[in-house]
Amino acid sequence: MKEKNSLALKASQVKEFIQGRIEEFKSPAAKFRRRRKYGRFFSSFFRYLLLLGLCFVIIFPTIQQILQALRAPEDINKPSVVWIPDVWSIENIKIALIVLNYWKALANTIKVSLVSMVLQLVATSLAGYAFARLRFKGSNILFIGVILTIIIPPQALSLTRYLYFRNLGLIQKEISLYMMNALGMGIRSGIFIFIFRQFFRGLPTELEESAQIDGAGVFRTFWSVMLPNARGALVTVALFSFVWAWNDSYYVGLLQISTAELPLLTMRLINASEGMYAALSYAGLLHLIGDEVWNNPLFLQMITNVCALLMMLPLLIGYLFVQRGFVESIERTGIVG
């Protein structure tokens, strides 16, 4: 009898526990917690799914180029080879190095990009400071002209620029590109002037007033007070200017700067398919490629992709070192989109 009573007591306790859990499960607070938990889970799931999809779209071409660079040239005639090379080789990289005249072109490209970046920083920071702080008659009209340089496509002024530098005898000379950057007419100079103008306008005027009380002139105030506080704008403009100068093919082609004595990576890449046979013949390396491979049009495309990979590789390596500073500068200058 006692055992039956104890069993009945346990059954009633279990029943009460289950009913309590059911009531707790059906309570508004529990429903709200579950809804919030599931909402966080699905929002995180779809967010990470979207990020993975975007990463795949961005990284896919780079992965494809790397795999193409590490396959043997004869794999181009094998339909079964799509992703993983059948024969791992660096012959395509060797051919691309010869076609690009890589090391000489790399040194020249770094030099031209660095000099252009420095000249852009000097010219656009001075112009941006003048438009932001030095109010003079006609400044707004001049700033409208700066905005027009952003709106008007550079191709509309290509003939005028070419004739101007031809009359000066500066065609096929890199100093013509340096002159454009130093005079505030380089690649995207209007955007850089606008960035500096907006940044300097956001700095407190008390900084300038205290410098003027101490006897500092306009240039001393700019150099010693305003410019050190514009680190975010400086980093942003420097990185964008360097990358755009590195990838520039319009002005380099217009002014015919890339020559046999001064090869640049962009023009060597553009002319890679036309100059591939001559480059390999001059280097005596045509024996590396069979006739079946050479006659395949996909081979030229593959070598061109490898050349593009070699061209952007220094930028990717450099970005790994300046990533944090670049993101912070973008946040400080307020560039979006």
Q: What is the pLDDT of residues 36-51, one digit of tens each?
A: 777 787 888 888 888 8
124 vs 89, higher pLDDT: 124
pLDDT of 327 over the 60 cut = yes
Band of the pLDDT at 109, cuts 50, 70, 90? Answer: very high
Token pair, residue 203, equals 């700095």
Nearest of 316, 251, 286 to residue 63 by alpha carbon? 316
pLDDT of 1 over the 60 cut = no
Whole-number pLDDT of residue 9 = 54
- Phi and psi of 88, rounded to 5°? -80, 130
Note the maximum CA span of the chain: 119
Q: Are 174 and 112 in contact (CB under 8 A)?
A: yes
Domain residue extents for the chain: 2-63, 91-333
Mean pLDDT for 269-285 is 72
What's the mean pLDDT when you consider all of the chain?
A: 81
Whole-number pLDDT of residue 104 = 92
Name the one residue in this structure whose structure tokens are 């030099």. Answer: 111
Q: What angle do CA 68, 74, 77 make, to 5 degrees?
A: 90
- H helices of 169-296, in order, are 175-182, 189-202, 205-213, 218-221, 231-246, 250-254, 265-270, 272-283, 291-294
Band of the pLDDT at 105, cuts 50, 70, 90? Answer: very high
pLDDT of 336 over the 50 cut = no
193 vs 323, higher pLDDT: 193
Whole-number pLDDT of residue 149 = 85
**0.85 exceeded by the pTM?**
no
Band of the pLDDT at 337, cuts 50, 70, 90? Answer: very low
User: Among 21-25, 145-149, 177-181, 302-306, whose mean pLDDT is lowest?
Assistant: 21-25
CATH class of 91-333: mainly alpha
Token pair, residue 9, equals 């007591």
* Start-to-end C-alpha separation, the chain: 80
Q: What is the pLDDT of residues 232-263, one digit of tens each?
A: 888 888 989 999 999 998 899 888 888 888 88
Name the one residue in this structure whose structure tokens are 């560039």. Answer: 335
pLDDT of 287 over the 80 cut = no
pLDDT of 227 over the 50 cut = yes
Band of the pLDDT at 14, cuts 50, 70, 90? Answer: low
Instruction: Name residue 71's beta-bridge partners.
Output: 88
